[in-house]
């Protein structure tokens, strides 16, 4: 049955694609070996590096998704049997660890409560204990989309430095890049992985990896099998603008437009400030409902996704289904261990206060429908109050 009106997409990716970005992708196909093609592609890499905060390294764009970008980061820099250290604190860190194991890496897993972030002290202790420097990589999911937790990457880097350990720092930035501040060079991140469908406000279809100069050095000795995801083949795209295989043309045009919006029109500082402020309003709403977030400590609050715990006796999946069927509102589900225990509100990408107020209103109705005792309008009012008393703009680029 047709659902009239605009669909409210509040899953934490894919996110809303701005109309301008949408239009930029409606193009005739063209020859990706033409002499003009590099005019489009060559500008993308330096701009991506700006989003990553990377001053020394290279970015690669694969026709893929975040999962493919995980694989690219691992296979280009590691050999089967290499030891790596990875905290597991949500479904995405779990899936990345699963991939590492399937690629034949020896993963030391730091089991961590779901709802907490990367445990810096335990990372430091594990690295100090590794006297022979067998651990080649520390793998951290920056923003664990499943639990709404953002880890402190500067803190992880500090822990690694305190242990004087040379391991590379691998980061999943899939649901943080382009929404939450990311300082690849300052934080000493060596490989950072992203996808197109979150903060970059595009459809899914691009897997993006940024590698530090130190990470690129390790390619020379890394023996994991890689073909499609070989950085060596992709390097040409950076150098002369041509890809080793047919690129996802419309997505590249879309990426050009979304980079324009983020970097040159809104400005990254404003993008980050907007996400912070919107997320604060959502958390005020959760508080007003008398509910709690899955994230255990404010220091890990995610500014791109809030996972709301439902009361005992209520199934979070029921809230999501009612929101979808009755109110045309898509919320994120509880994944794996968290199935049924929570629902997630994605608040990243092309979003403003009024869009979020609509979503919060829909969440309130769906929660009341399934028997959660919330006062109608309480969360909406709390978010409104927060947004009215805080500034919208940090500094406007002219």
Nearer to ligand PLP, 66 or 281 (CB): 66
Is residue 344 marked as binding? yes
Q: Please state the three-class secondary structure of the chain as a single string.
A: CCCCCCCEEECCCCCCCCHHHHHHCCCCCCCCCCCCCHHHHCCHHHHHHHHHCCCCEEEEEEECCHHHHHHHHHHCCCCCCCEEEEEECCHHHHHHHHHHHHCCCEEEEEECCECECCCHHHHHHHHHHCCCCCEEEEEEECEECCCCEECCHHHHHHHHHHCCCCCEEEEECCCCCCCCCCCCCCCCCCEEEEECCCCCCCCCCEEEEEEEHHHHHHCCCCCCCCCCCCHHHHHHHHHHCCCCCCCCHHHHHHHHHHHHHHHHHHCHHHHHHHHHHHHHHHHHHHHHCCCCECCCCHHHECCCEEEEECCCCCCHHHHHHHHHHHHCEEEEECCHHHCCCEEEEECCCCCCHHHHHHHHHHHHHHHHHCCCCCCCCHHHHHHHHHHHHCCCCCCCCC
Q: Give the nearest distance from C-beta 90 to ligand PLP in angstroms.
A: 8
Residue 174 binds to ligand PLP (criterion: CB under 6 A): yes
Q: Give the nearest distance from C-beta 144 to ligand PLP in angstroms.
A: 6
Looking only at residues 259 through 298 of this chain, which bind ligand PLP when binding is defined by CB under 6 A? none
Nearer to ligand PLP, 73 or 234 (CB): 73
Of the candidates 24, 41, 145, 179, which one interacts with ligand PLP according to CB under 6 A? Answer: 145
Residue 13 binds to ligand PLP (criterion: CB under 6 A): yes
Nearer to ligand PLP, 68 or 361 (CB): 68
Of the candidates 112, 175, 304, 384, which one interacts with ligand PLP according to CB under 6 A? Answer: 175
Binding mask 231-250 for ligand PLP (x = CB under 6 A): --------------------
Residue 179 binds to ligand PLP (criterion: CB under 6 A): no
Looking only at residues 184 through 223 of this chain, which bind ligand PLP when binding is defined by CB under 6 A? 195, 204
Q: Give the nearest distance from C-beta 309 to ligand PLP in angstroms.
A: 19
Residue 362 binds to ligand PLP (criterion: CB under 6 A): no
Nearer to ligand PLP, 195 or 316 (CB): 195
Residue 11 binds to ligand PLP (criterion: CB under 6 A): no
Residue 67 binds to ligand PLP (criterion: CB under 6 A): yes
Annotated binding site for substrate: 344
Binding site for ligand PLP (CB under 6 A): 13, 65-67, 92, 141, 145, 172, 174-175, 195, 204
Annotated binding site: 344
């Amino acid at each position: 049955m047709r659902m009239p009106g605009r669909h409210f997409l509040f899953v934490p990716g894919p996110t809303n694609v701005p109309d301008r970005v949408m239009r930029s992708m409606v193009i005739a196909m063209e020859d990706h070996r033409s002499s003009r093609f590099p005019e489009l592609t060559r500008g993308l890499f330096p701009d991506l590096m700006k989003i990553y905060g990377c001053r020394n390294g290279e970015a690669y764009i694969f026709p893929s998704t975040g999962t493919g970008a995980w694989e690219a980061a691992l296979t280009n820099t590691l050999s089967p049997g290499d030891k790596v250290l990875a905290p597991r604190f949500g479904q995405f860190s779990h899936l990345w660890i699963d991939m590492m194991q399937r690629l034949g890496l020896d993963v030391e897993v730091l089991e961590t409560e779901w709802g907490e972030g990367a445990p810096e002290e335990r990372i430091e202790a594990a690295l100090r204990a590794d006297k022979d420097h067998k651990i080649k990589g520390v793998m951290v999911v920056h923003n664990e989309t499943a639990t709404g937790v953002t880890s402190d990457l500067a803190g992880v880097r500090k822990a690694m430095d305190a242990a004087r350990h040379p391991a590379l720092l691998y980061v999943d930035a899939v649901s943080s890049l382009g929404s939450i501040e990311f300082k690849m060079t300052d934080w000493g991140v060596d490989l950072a992985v992203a996808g197109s469908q979150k903060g970059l406000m595009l459809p899914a279809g691009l897997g993006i990896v940024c590698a530090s100069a130190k990470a690129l050095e390790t390619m020379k000795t890394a023996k994991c099998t890689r073909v499609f995801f070989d950085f060596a083949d992709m390097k040409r795209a950076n150098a002369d603008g041509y890809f080793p295989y047919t690129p996802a043309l419309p997505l590249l045009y879309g990426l050009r437009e979304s980079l324009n919006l983020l970097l040159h029109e809104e400005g990254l500082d404003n993008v980050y400030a907007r996400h912070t402020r919107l997320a604060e309003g959502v958390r005020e709403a959760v508080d007003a409902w008398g509910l709690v977030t899955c994230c255990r400590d404010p220091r890990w609050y995610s500014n791109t996704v809030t996972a709301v715990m439902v009361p005992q006796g209520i199934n979070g999946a029921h809230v999501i289904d009612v929101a979808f069927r009755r109110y045309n509102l898509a919320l994120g589900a509880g994944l794996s261990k968290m199935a049924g225990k929570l629902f997630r509100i994605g608040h990243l990408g092309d979003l403003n206060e009024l869009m979020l107020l609509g979503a919060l209103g829909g969440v309130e109705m769906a929660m009341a429908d399934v028997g959660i005792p919330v006062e109608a309008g309480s969360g909406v009012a709390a978010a409104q109050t927060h947004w009215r008393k805080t500034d919208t703009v940090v500094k406007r680029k002219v």
